[in-house]
């Protein structure tokens, strides 16, 4: 059985108009099947439905199919990212591109359901959000659950490391992400790889995707460089030593917020760090018995790395290159979200646009965005034992982020346990937020004057530790 095709154009030649095409890859540029996506653009198929985690970054990956008018619908966990206006958003606003936003873990679960012959399933993820509107909801135990349907694909475009001619595929490092679930949901899974070998050259125990799930194998001709990958992740990060000024006094830096949040993680904890500021927490866990979890399928990663320490296939969910700690493991996004939703994570650290006094969280979209970026946050919130929010006390326009009621669409309801800002540490006890710590040089009264929610002040409020 030989599943190798001679060229990329031949591999996509039968993808016709109206096809549902899933393509794997994670974050901004990691693991995208760039060669196959370019071949699909050359093929010229139209009225496509694209299924993906996100549209990536850079015109080469993200926008060619959409700019050419080949896509009519997008099903994704991200349709936009803050500060990165895209052609897709313009088309969404103009009514020329339909979008269905799906939490990342539910996206892969819907694909797994399609492969397993399960037409629908109930999940607590998204039950208290706008994503539940128009869907059947039932209560199981004391929680509402939303009915989600299976998501079959006509084609899946994937990228692996090695494959044999029989279609068995090996992924390297943390690069499995959505590949296995998309392959299994597809009528035809097409994999581009770096190297093709003969059957028997891959050890059976090393195979991540058995050939029965794969229809075609083709050699990749294009690669995203390490420099591009690093630049894509760095472009979205603000300087860790940046700090805001309130009352002519400097608040904690972003690094200082991350440092304080790191101290909240207990020894022996499994923890997930969201994108943005939460990723900096990993730099303050050296020597600690804390195991970090990433949605792309990585358990046991370490701090951020650069230069010669970079491995292009070892990255966290924010597309940042990281170290591999002893005892680490790699897997796919399905297993990663099993860990998240099952309550195995002791703590989840996320950023936020708003948190309100009922412990509701809004962190995936604003009125300025078309669609938004749900990512894995709704899945993580659903199963976290403790949810820690890190953010600056006010937004870029000087408006409070701690509010009476969230104005933005919710990520989760009644879920926030702790908030660390550049001015304060607030802990929720007995249904109320308590101000336990204030930034050095600030008073509780000053903090409360910038807070638009009811907060109780602890009788023994203390200063947050200054930067090291």
Residues 241 and 219 in one domain: no
pLDDT, mean of residues 5-28? 96
> Is residue 230 included in any domain, yes or no?
no
Residues 301 and 211 in one domain: no
> Is residue 63 included in any domain, yes or no?
yes
Determine the straight-line distance between the first and last CA of the chain, rounded to whole angstroms. 61
Task: Examine the pLDDT at 264 and tell me if it is beyond 90.
Answer: yes
Beta-bridge partners for 424:
438
pLDDT, mean of residues 246-267? 97
Provide the angle, in degrees to the nearest 10, between the axes of the packed helices 104-116 and 333-341. Answer: 110
pLDDT, mean of residues 178-197? 98
> Is residue 241 included in any domain, yes or no?
yes
Residues 252 and 156 in one domain: no
Task: Examine the pLDDT at 466 and tell me if it is beyond 70.
Answer: no
Domain of residue 178, residue span: 8-224
Q: What is the pLDDT of residue 27?
A: 83
- What band does 58 get if pLDDT is binned at 50, 70 and 90? low
Residues 187 and 328 in one domain: no
| Mean pLDDT across the chain | 93
Domain count, the chain: 2
Backbone dihedral region for residue 401 (phi beyond 0: left; psi -120 to 50: alpha; all else: beta): alpha
Q: Which of 216, 142, 206 is nearest to 183 (CA)?
A: 216
> Is residue 383 included in any domain, yes or no?
yes
Q: What's the distance, CA 161 to chain centroid?
A: 22
Beta-bridge partners for 212:
none
d(CA 296, CA 376): 10
pLDDT, mean of residues 238-251? 90
pLDDT, mean of residues 374-388? 97
Least confident span in 42-46, 57-61, 312-316: 57-61
Residues 17 and 163 in one domain: yes
Q: What is the pLDDT of residue 371?
A: 83
Give every CB contact of residue 394 below 8 A, 6+ residues apart in sequence: 244, 246, 400, 401, 450
- What band does 367 get if pLDDT is binned at 50, 70 and 90? confident
* Phi/psi at 286 (5° precision): -60, 130
Of the residues 193, 224, 255, the one at which a domain ends: 224
Residues 194 and 90 in one domain: yes
Residues 219 and 247 in one domain: no
Residues 324 and 414 in one domain: yes
Q: Which residue has the higher pLDDT, 86 or 434?
A: 434
Residues 30 and 152 in one domain: yes
Task: Examine the pLDDT at 117 and tell me if it is beyond 80.
Answer: yes
> Is residue 172 included in any domain, yes or no?
yes
- What band does 64 get if pLDDT is binned at 50, 70 and 90? confident
Of the residues 224, 249, 284, the one at which a domain ends: 224
Residues 255 and 377 in one domain: yes
Q: What is the DSSP letter of 352?
A: -
Task: Examine the pLDDT at 437 and tell me if it is beyond 70.
Answer: yes
In percent, the amount of the chain with pLDDT more than 90 equals 84
> Is residue 76 included in any domain, yes or no?
yes
CATH code of residue 446? 3.40.1080.10
Residues 263 and 201 in one domain: no
Q: What is the pLDDT of residue 223?
A: 82
Question: How far are the Cα atoms of 52, 157, 274, 282 from residue 258, in angstroms, in the given order?
Answer: 30, 37, 12, 8
- pLDDT tens string 320-343: 999 999 999 999 999 999 999 999
Whether 154 and 187 have beta carbons less than 8 Å apart is answered as yes
Least confident span in 84-88, 153-157, 204-208, 416-420: 84-88
Task: Examine the pLDDT at 139 and tell me if it is beyond 80.
Answer: yes
pLDDT, mean of residues 115-133? 97
> Is residue 3 included in any domain, yes or no?
no
Q: What is the pLDDT of residue 128?
A: 92
> Is residue 232 included in any domain, yes or no?
no
Catalytic residue ranges: 295
Residues 148 and 257 in one domain: no
Of the residues 194, 224, 254, the one at which a domain ends: 224
Task: Examine the pLDDT at 211 and tell me if it is beyond 60.
Answer: yes
d(CA 246, CA 148): 45
């Amino acid at each position: 059985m030989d599943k190798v095709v001679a060229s990329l154009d031949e591999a996509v030649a039968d993808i016709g108009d109206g096809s549902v095409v899933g393509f794997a890859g994670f974050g901004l540029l990691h693991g995208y099947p760039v060669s196959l996506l370019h071949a699909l653009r050359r093929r010229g198929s139209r009225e496509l439905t694209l299924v993906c985690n996100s549209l990536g970054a850079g015109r080469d990956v993200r926008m060619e199919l959409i700019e050419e008018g080949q896509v009519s619908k997008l099903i994704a966990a991200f349709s936009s990212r803050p500060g990165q206006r895209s052609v897709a958003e313009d088309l969404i606003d103009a009514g020329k591109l339909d979008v269905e936003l799906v939490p990342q873990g539910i996206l892969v679960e819907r694909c797994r359901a399609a492969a397993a012959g399960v037409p629908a399933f109930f999940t607590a993820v998204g039950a208290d959000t706008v994503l539940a509107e128009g869907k059947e909801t039932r209560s199981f135990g004391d929680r509402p659950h939303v009915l989600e349907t299976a998501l079959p694909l006509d084609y899946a475009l994937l990228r692996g490391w090695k494959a044999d001619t029989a279609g068995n595929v090996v992924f390297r490092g943390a690069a499995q992400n959505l590949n296995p679930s998309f392959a299994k949901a597809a009528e035809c899974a097409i994999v581009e790889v770096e190297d093709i070998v003969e059957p028997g050259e891959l050890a059976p125990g090393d195979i991540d995707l058995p050939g029965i799930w794969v229809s075609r194998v083709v050699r990749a001709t294009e690669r995203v460089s390490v420099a591009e990958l690093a630049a894509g992740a760095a472009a979205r990060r603000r300087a860790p030593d940046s700090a805001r000024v309130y009352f002519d006094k400097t608040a904690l830096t972003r690094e200082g917020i991350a440092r304080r949040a790191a101290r909240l993680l207990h020894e022996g904890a499994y923890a997930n760090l969201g994108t943005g500021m939460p990723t900096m927490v990993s730099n303050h866990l050296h020597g600690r018995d804390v195991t970090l979890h990433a949605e792309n399928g990585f358990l046991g990663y370490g701090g951020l790395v650069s230069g010669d320490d970079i491995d292009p296939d070892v990255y966290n969910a924010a597309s940042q290159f990281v170290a591999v700690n002893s005892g680490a493991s790699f897997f796919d996004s399905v297993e990663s979200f099993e860990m998240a939703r099952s309550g195995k994570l002791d703590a989840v650290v996320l950023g936020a646009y708003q948190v309100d006094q009922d412990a509701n969280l809004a962190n995936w979209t604003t009125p300025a965005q078309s669609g938004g970026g749900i990512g894995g946050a709704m899945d993580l919130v659903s199963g976290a034992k403790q949810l820690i929010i890190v953010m600056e006390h006010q937004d870029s326009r000087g408006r409070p982020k701690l509010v009476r009621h969230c104005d933005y669409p919710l990520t989760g309801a009644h879920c926030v346990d702790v908030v660390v800002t550049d001015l304060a540490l607030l802990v929720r006890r007995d249904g109320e937020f308590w101000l336990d710590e204030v930034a050095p040089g600030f008073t509780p009264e000053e903090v409360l004057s910038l807070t638009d929610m009811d907060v109780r002040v602890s009788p023994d409020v203390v200063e947050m530790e200054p930067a090291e």
